[in-house]
Structure 1
Amino acid sequence: MSRSFGSLFAASSLSNLGDGILMVSAPLIAATLTSSAFLVAAVTTAYFLPWLLLSLPVGAWLDLTDRRRAWMYALVSRVAVLGVGVVVAVTGNLSIGALIVIALLFGCGEVVGDSAISTLVPDVVDRESLVRANTLVQTGRQLSNYFLGAPLAGLLVAVSAGAALGAPALLAVLCLVIIGLGLRTPRRPRDTGQATAVPAVRRIREGLTFLLQHRTLRYVTPAGAVENVFGTGFLAVLVLWVVGPDSALGLPESAFGLLYTCMGVGALVGAALAGRVLARWTFVRLMTVLAAVSGVLYLVPVLLTDGVALYACFAVLGIAISLRGVLWTTLFQRATPRDLYGRVVTTNRMVIFGSMPLGALGAGILAEATSVTVVLIAFPIASTLAQVLLLLRARELDAESTDRS
């Protein structure tokens, strides 16, 4: 692997460490500001809403601009947003409304940053190294998000909300230094004016048309959206079922971070197995199996109302999430022409991540109307059934598709 990939990997991992800290600390902070399940879920809704609103124009822009520079812009915006958040928290003015706004603005930068990372990988490694590169990036992401970020979030929230918001900002600064010094990408062809002359709406439509007409991606994408809708809804209210004296398990805040650490351990195992598993299983068949297994892993500990079962199932769930992440990224990179990749991947992410606010919002509304336990049982069942039905209609990639460039 090249020095540029090493820099990309390091910066991506540190960026995801910041994501992991915020992902776990935001609902914990929200739970200290309000007892409303709807408002706690609204924080997660705001975090993912930009994927629905910005993915398509960002994808069209990334196919025309310097993706390295776009990633750096996103990191600068992260520093600015979290810096304001730290000031608000330290001065004692942090409210649930302010936290929702911070999550929303942070999410806007993440749309650009995460999309840029995914489109940069094929720029710094050859096609034969894509699986290995994606496995490493996925390993760094899962290790940072869950194994390191989750327990750090619990500790930082215990210190103060300002500490939990400030740590990701400092990590973003470090990412900027690494990218600036070490990441070099191939010089893109000089724009003759033809590309920029094409209306943005037309460029967006080209990416959307490719995705809708592809015999594999047109089913894989909505299946991913289904998993994220119900998975996000599940996790958005899980904190109310796990943490606090009035919850089902009655565990402390630090125990919630440990839950994600267990998932991170599983993710490391999944990353280690990814190469061998992908060599033996076809894309769609493996996705179908992972969807069914994940549904069971979400459901079992809730039905048992058992903390040990919850930790064990989330550890195995980490394996499934890691395998799915490598599988998903490699599938899209192999199936999509390079000049369409930015638009196709962000269209896919618009559907997948843009649907996540609906899951969080729906979970909050349903939990308020019934109970958190109802959400935690109904969502995994609905997710598994819908995913399997969609994936059974998808066709595997043929040799020609996997060789497209």
Structure 2
Amino acid sequence: MTSSGPQSHQAPDGEGAAAGGGGTPAHDPENRPVVSLLRDANFLVFWTGQTLSQLGAQLGAIALPVLAVVLLQASEWEVGVLNAANTAAFLLVGLPVGAWVDRWFKRRVMIRADLARVVAMLAIPVLWYAGVLQMWQLWIIAAAIGVANVFFDVSYQSSIPSLVERDQISEANAKLETTGQISRLAGPALGGALLVVFLPPVLFIGQAAGYLISALCLWRVRDHEVLQPAPAEHHLVAEIREGLGYVLHHPLIGRIAATTAITNFFSTIVFTLLPILVLRTLGLDTVQLGLIYSAGAVGGLIAASLTPYVARIVGEGTSLPISSALTGVGMAGFPLSTLAPDATSAFLVLACSMFVMTFGVLVYNIIQVSLRQRICPHRLLGRMNASIRFLVWGVMPLAAILAGILGERFGLVPALWVGVVGCVAAALPLVFSPLARMRTLPDEVEHDAGAPGEEPPAR
């Protein structure tokens, strides 16, 4: 259950007091007028860049499994390695990246990560049309993109509190998720249709264009981040330990991290094998594969719109275990689709399952990400988000390898059921936690005992 992210400056070419992840606002929050984010030109530039970036990313997201499964005839094991390479960076470098990002302006990190992803994406069509593209090269490119994703994602998650006011964080996340789901709605369907006309490598040009637009928009955005003074001595290990300890020992965030990690582990098993299920076992085409992902985006779009109402009616904390369990229940349709009498029925089962699953994921993500951003001390935002990513995405490469092993040794459908059962059980850490009984979640930045004399910035 990945946290989206999907995911600003006082001077276009210099950070000044700008760029995204925490710090003291440069204005007086007590006297500021309440302005809707729809009228905030600064946020709109950021929002536009991330929306178009995600739209481009969806083209590559559907082209990659088609390239591997159809053109390069990859086995379950090779597809598992490919997925593992794409997420291994969160396990290998996620924690130090969090400490580094806390020392840097987030905008500069995000721009450089975007440009690195542009170069990596363009390497795929170049190698293909040169006639030399092989799976091992795809693994290396995926690993390089994964490293850039770590830097971008940690910075992105840490940037929202200094881009908008504290009481606008939930609104900002909901808007970013809403257009993210619109991109995921249009992107896979568009990608599936384009694959009828173009070979998969062409779609990676569109993904590179999305990252380039993101970089240009970030260059234009302004925020009010001020870096905290660096301690006299930097101890990377101590800084990493502080961020990881904050997550593991926090009574609310620790439970959220546990559920998310378990969900991501078992859902990775399912999604690693899903393209093989759709394109080989069920014999569906790339257009139908794209529409299945788009059906999920419809569920996510509706969830992004309804989450404030769900949280108000059901309760913010209570919504978390319910939406987590709903995610696993929705996935049950994936293995059940093999029992459908014909291809059309199998497609409908898969589309409905993706809809329900993504609805659960989005409700869960919007609530828990907003909670983390609201209560985490500002100087720990980068390390907190990196620690979360290490714990909840670091399990994904291991799960992708396991998916390949289970699929080849026990068969596709049994491997899918392992993933489904694990995702349902992932809700248990939340069920047996204070969150399940909390209608309203904390809304204030916690006192930062690690920064004596430092008052948390009013937002």
TM-score, length basis structure 2: 0.82
Judge conservation of contact 2:76–2:273 (CA < 8 Å) in 1.
yes
Match for 2:421: what amino acid?
I
Mapped to 1, the partners of 2:56 and 2:204 lie a distance apart of: 9
Mapped to 2, the partners of 1:67 and 1:73 lie a distance apart of: 10
2:259 corresponds to 1:223:
yes
Residue 79 (structure 2) aligns with: 40
2:62 corresponds to 1:24:
yes
1:394 to 404, 419, 433: 433
Measure how far apart 1:190 and its partner are: 6.6
- Taking a change above 3 Å as real, the CA distance of residues 400 and 138 of structure 1, as seen in their structure-2 partners, is closer
After TM superposition, the structure 1 stretch with the greater mean CA deviation from structure 2, 200-209 or 395-404, is 395-404
Mapped to 1, the partners of 2:153 and 2:50 lie a distance apart of: 9
1:139 to 156, 174, 178: 178
Q: Which residues in structure 2 correspond to 1:4-403 (within 5 Å)?
A: 4-32=42-70, 33-144=72-183, 146-158=184-196, 159-181=198-220, 183-189=221-227, 191=229, 193-194=230-231, 197-244=233-280, 247=281, 249-305=282-338, 306=340, 307=346, 308-385=348-425, 387-396=426-435, 401-403=442-444
Mapped to 2, the partners of 1:399 and 1:29 lie a distance apart of: 46
Deviation string for 1:251-306 (max 9, x for gaps)?
11221111101011111111110111122334442121112222221113522533
Partner-residue secondary structure (3-state), 1:402 = coil
Partner-residue secondary structure (3-state), 2:180 = helix
Deviation string for 1:68-87 (max 9, x for gaps)?
11100101101111122221
Mapped to 2, the partners of 1:345 and 1:155 lie a distance apart of: 36
Unaligned runs of 5+ in 1: none
Match for 2:412: what amino acid?
V
Mapped to 1, the partners of 2:106 and 2:85 lie a distance apart of: 25
Judge conservation of contact 2:120–2:141 (CA < 8 Å) in 1.
yes
Q: CA RMSD in A?
A: 1.9
Mapped to 2, the partners of 1:205 and 1:384 lie a distance apart of: 31
- Taking a change above 3 Å as real, the CA distance of residues 92 and 127 of structure 1, as seen in their structure-2 partners, is same
Mapped to 2, the partners of 1:318 and 1:342 lie a distance apart of: 26
- Taking a change above 3 Å as real, the CA distance of residues 172 and 400 of structure 1, as seen in their structure-2 partners, is closer
Mapped to 2, the partners of 1:81 and 1:392 lie a distance apart of: 42
Match for 2:45: what amino acid?
S
After TM superposition, the structure 1 stretch with the greater mean CA deviation from structure 2, 334-343 or 302-311, is 302-311
Match for 2:68: what amino acid?
A
Mapped to 2, the partners of 1:207 and 1:53 lie a distance apart of: 16
Judge conservation of contact 2:371–2:441 (CA < 8 Å) in 1.
no
Mapped to 1, the partners of 2:109 and 2:255 lie a distance apart of: 30
Measure how far apart 1:318 and its partner are: 2.2
Match for 1:310: what amino acid?
L
- Taking a change above 3 Å as real, the CA distance of residues 54 and 17 of structure 1, as seen in their structure-2 partners, is farther
Mapped to 1, the partners of 2:411 and 2:275 lie a distance apart of: 13
Measure how far apart 1:368 and its partner are: 0.4
Partner-residue secondary structure (3-state), 2:361 = helix
Partner-residue secondary structure (3-state), 2:332 = helix
1:3 to 27, 41, 51: 41
TM-score, length basis structure 1: 0.93
| Aligned residue pairs, count | 397
